[in-house]
Amino acid sequence: MVGVTRMADQDSAQIVTDGLELELFDCRDAFSKTLEEMAAKNPKICAVVNDSVSSTKLKSFRSRFPERFVNVGIAEQNMVGVGCGLANGGMQPYVAGAGCFLTARAMEQVKVDLGYSNSNVKLCGMSSGMAYGELGPTHHSVEDVAWTRIIPNLAVVVPADPIETRAAMLYSEQHVGPMFLRISRMPVRRLLDENYRFQLGKAVQLRAGTDVTVITNGVLVSRALEAAEQLAVRGIQTRVLNMSSVKPLDTEAILRAAIETSRIVTAEEGFAAGGLGGAVAEVLALNHPVPMRILGLPDQFAPTGSADFLLEHFGLTASGIYSAAKELLGDNGKLRDE
Amino acid sequence: MVNLFSSQDANGREPLRGRELAEASQWLRISAMTMTHHAGIGHTGGDLSAADILATLYLGGILRVRPDDPAWSERDRFIMSKGHCSGVFYSTLAARGFFPVGALKTHMDPLSKLNGHPDRNKVAGVEANTGPLGHGLPIAVGAALASRMCQKSWRVYVLTGDGELQEGSNWEAAMTAQQYGLDNLAVIVDRNRIQQGDFTECTIRMEPMADKWRAFGFHTVEVDGHNHEALFAAFTEAASTKGKPTCIIANTIKGKGVSFAEDKPAWHHGVPTSEQLHAAAAELGVEVPWLE
């Protein structure tokens, strides 16, 4: 039984409202810019890519730090092993490539060379989820969270916006051990304040609520906030937790939400099985079962379509989250307990 | 033999040559076999084929390491890519003074630090967690790149099996090593010509082995992997080769030194009985170090 303590000590963050919230950002820009900043100050920072110079947006890094930029070619198993070796030699490697290949192709290296070895390597899965929509399921990285989160020692982080991407990158430099960072290329709104600081293992409450909680991360956070707005119109107060740290998981925040709101919806840009929803369900089932909906891809590969089309197709939208919350709450959005 | 394996003054120990190194190699063999007998599981054939290579590297003074300070940042890195041959590897590390020889008696016991495959977080001197094949060379390439990035002079050595080279990740790493001209990297191939199920050439043909490495841009030398002087010369040649990595193909005999195990696929993971252990010791000219 995981104890629920520090009930009042809720980690929350202000949602930005400075006019920039309508602009759209590619989190890869925050990733590459932050990595360059880090490398400028820390001579141990280096980057490893699998020919993915442009798709990781590391061209500028290569120009500024050519001696700390390794392109192993199209060879993901080797790339992860090289990262492990660089760490053995005292460097702090950021191994970056399209998430679909980086995880699936190199999974044994991720398990053994990074997780089991507890290597100080940061694995950056670029263009995660269904960002490569039309290119098809070969290029979707929707299994990665399920695969990585069960590996001991490996932290798994899914940032929501450019601010959190930058904050997670800065955090990762100080974190000794392997970490998987899921970096999206889907245009996202800026959600978090400039002063936001990422904390591994801590959920961030982006909206207070007592009727239902939506636990989400990545590109779905903004959609969850929209859903919460729509639910508020119906008088339903929705708590929104940004669970960017899938591992370690903030079990306290999950149990607090279960106790205080009695209903949980999870939403993720990945398979519903095994990912964030699965992780939350494990905590609830063992400690405090409450009615739950897990939004994600069903047990099927995606059809052809753009990233936005596919999110819509699988109900990974504000309206999909809205519907799931209403379903949990019962009759036409009226609170069952009223 | 007692002095040789004492852990006193491990950092400053004089390297072994000639007869002493030959005796030490035989001790590594019987130690590995004893461990396999004790555990009831192991990889005798590959332990015996790799013994002279490991003895030359660790006890012959090729590797600059500090057993009393295993994390010394300037140390040479040795990656045991054929991690299944943990018996001979652990014996070598103990002989070099990384941990007491007595610890070898716990090989694969419940909760022992000496797992069937090496774990760098548990055993001093182990650089990489290996066991699944094809992991060592990419890690070695990364370490060699790190040495260069840090403008250091420490070198990287990796020992692979020959059947292991059927894993494609090795050739991915070989291409990277060539592209970056990693002359601080030496790959040693334990060319014993046998893999788990059969001879390599009856499984997936590995010849022409040397041509493969040359085609991948390696300075390639072939040596008798049981001849210490030839191994010393190869390592010296590797260290003086500029602009490209070196591959040392060490032609070995699987099960070397123990007639009933030599060149027999069944001894890839054969486990010696007590009688076989004593027979092996007699052939190797050493004593069974311990038996429980």
* Per-residue pLDDT tens digits for A83-105: 999 999 999 999 999 999 999 99
A169 and A290 in a single domain? The answer is: no
| B222 φ, ψ (degrees, to nearest 5) | -110, 130
Helix axes B18-39, B44-54, angle to 10 degrees: 150
Q: Is A183 on the interface with B (CB under 8 A)?
A: no
Last residue of a domain, one of A155, A189, A223: A189
- CA B118/CA B122 separation, integer angstroms: 8
pLDDT at res. B11: 59
A178 to chain B nearest CA, in Å?
A: 14
Query: Is A82 in Cβ contact with B141 (below 8 Å)?
Result: yes
**Nearest-CA residue of chain B relative to A75?**
B172
A31 and A131 in a single domain? The answer is: yes
Q: Which of A295, A210, A201 has the alpha carbon at shortest distance from A253?
A: A201
Check: complex ipTM more than 0.90: yes
A288 and A146 in a single domain? The answer is: no
A92 to chain B nearest CA, in Å?
A: 10
B17 to chain A nearest CA, in Å?
A: 30
- CA A191/CA B66 separation, integer angstroms: 51
Q: Is residue A320 part of a domain?
A: yes
A185 and A222 in a single domain? The answer is: no
Query: Is B135 in Cβ contact with A109 (below 8 Å)?
Result: yes
Q: Is residue A333 part of a domain?
A: no
The SS3 of residue A246 is strand
DSSP A132-189: TGGG-GGG-B-SHHHHHHTSTT-EEE---SHHHHHHHHHHHHH--S-EEEEE--S-EE
- CA B208/CA B205 separation, integer angstroms: 8
Amino acid at A275: G
Residue with tokens 């990693």: B182
pLDDT at res. B6: 41
A182 and A60 in a single domain? The answer is: yes
Does A247 have pLDDT greater than 70?
A: yes
Last residue of a domain, one of A131, A156, A189: A189
- CA B258/CA A20 separation, integer angstroms: 75
**Nearest-CA residue of chain B relative to A114?**
B129
Query: Is B128 in Cβ contact with A88 (below 8 Å)?
Result: yes
Split at pLDDT 50, 70, 90, the class of A22 is confident
The SS3 of residue B189 is strand
Option in A86, A108, A117 nearest B145 (CB):
A86
A173 and A39 in a single domain? The answer is: yes
Last residue of a domain, one of A189, A219, A237: A189
All residues at 6 or more sequence positions from A198 whose CB lies less than 8 Å from its CB, including other chains? A157, A159, A164, A167, A168, A170, A171, A244
A185 to chain B nearest CA, in Å?
A: 28
pLDDT at res. A227: 97
Q: Is residue A17 part of a domain?
A: no
Percent of chain A with pLDDT over 90: 90
To probe the interface with B, which of A88, A91, A92 has the most B CB atoms within 10 Å?
A: A88
DSSP class of residue A309 equals H
Q: Is residue A214 part of a domain?
A: yes
The token duo for B205 is 């043909």
Domain that holds residue A231: 204-328
DSSP A12-78: B-PBP-SSGGGSEE-HHHHHHHHHHHHHHH-TTEEEEESS-TTTTT-HHHHHH-GGGEEE--S-HHH
Q: Which of A327, A175, A301 has the alpha carbon at shortest distance from A245?
A: A175
- CA B121/CA A48 separation, integer angstroms: 24
All residues at 6 or more sequence positions from A120 whose CB lies less than 8 Å from its CB, including other chains? A87, A92, A176, A177, A178
Q: Is A47 on the interface with B (CB under 8 A)?
A: no
- A338 versus A68: the higher-pLDDT residue is A68
A160 and A235 in a single domain? The answer is: no
Amino acid at A29: D
The token duo for B41 is 């599981």
Residue with tokens 């909760």: B111
On chain A, the residues whose CB falls within 8 A of the CB of B127 are 88
Q: Which of A285, A188, A284 has the alpha carbon at shortest distance from A244?
A: A188
pLDDT at res. A57: 95
A135 and A229 in a single domain? The answer is: no
Helix axes A27-41, A162-174, angle to 10 degrees: 30
Mean residue pLDDT across chain A: 93
10-residue stretch averages of pLDDT, chain B, 292 residues long: 44 85 97 97 97 98 96 97 97 97 96 96 97 98 98 97 98 98 98 95 96 98 98 98 98 97 93 96 95 77
What's chain A's Rg over C-alpha atoms?
Answer: 19
Does A14 have pLDDT greater than 90?
A: no
Q: How many CA atoms lie within 13 A of B56 on its CB side?
A: 22
Option in B120, B142, B168 nearest A86 (CB):
B142
List, for residues A126-162, the tens digit of each pLDDT value: 999 999 999 999 999 999 999 999 999 999 999 999 9
Q: Is A42 on the interface with B (CB under 8 A)?
A: no
- CA B140/CA B148 separation, integer angstroms: 12
pLDDT at res. A327: 95
Interface of B with A (CB under 8 A): 73, 77, 79, 119-121, 127-132, 134-135, 137-147, 149-150, 156, 168-169, 172-173, 175-176, 179-180
CA angle centred on A206, ends A205 and A209, rounded to 5° = 75
Q: Is residue A69 part of a domain?
A: yes
Q: How many CA atoms lie within 13 A of A186 on its CB side?
A: 28
Q: Is residue A7 part of a domain?
A: no
Return the HEC string of B12-24. Answer: CCCCCCHHHHHHH
The SS3 of residue B55 is helix
Does A310 have pLDDT greater than 60?
A: yes
Query: Is A113 in Cβ contact with B143 (below 8 Å)?
Result: no
A119 and A268 in a single domain? The answer is: no
What pTM value is reported for the model? 0.94
Summarize the confidence of residues A313-335 as an average pLDDT.
87
The token duo for A247 is 């591992």
pLDDT at res. B290: 87
A58 and A165 in a single domain? The answer is: yes
For A184, other C-beta atoms within 10 Å of its C-beta total: 30
Burial A210-246 (b: 16+ CB within 10 A, else e): ebbbbbbbbbbbbbbbbbbebbeeeebebbbbbbbbb
| A145 φ, ψ (degrees, to nearest 5) | -70, -40
| B159 φ, ψ (degrees, to nearest 5) | -105, 120
pLDDT at res. A8: 39
Q: Is residue A9 part of a domain?
A: no
- CATH number for position A282: 3.40.50.920
Q: Note the Cα A154 to chain centre separation in Å.
A: 14
On chain B, the residues whose CB falls within 8 A of the CB of A67 are 149
Q: Which of B12, B42, B17 has the alpha carbon at shortest distance from B29?
A: B42
A154 and A219 in a single domain? The answer is: no
Does A208 have pLDDT greater than 60?
A: yes
- CATH number for position A99: 3.40.50.970
- A331 versus A46: the higher-pLDDT residue is A46
A279 and A176 in a single domain? The answer is: no
CA dihedral (B87, B88, B92, B95) in degrees, to 10, reads 70
Option in B132, B142, B176 nearest A84 (CB):
B142
Q: Is residue A272 part of a domain?
A: yes
Domains of chain B: residue spans and CATH: 2-284 (3.40.50.970)
The SS3 of residue A93 is strand
Please provide the size of chain B in residues.
292
The SS3 of residue A199 is coil
Q: Which of B127, B60, B62 has the alpha carbon at shortest distance from B89?
A: B127
Q: How far is residue A138 from each of residues A132, A187, B260, measured CA to CA in Å?
A: 9, 21, 51
Summarize the confidence of residues A303-312 as an average pLDDT.
96
pLDDT at res. B292: 72
All residues at 6 or more sequence positions from A9 whose CB lies less than 8 Å from its CB, including other chains? none
DSSP class of residue A300 equals S
Q: What domain count does chain A have?
A: 2
Q: Which of B171, B195, B236 has the alpha carbon at shortest distance from B82?
A: B195
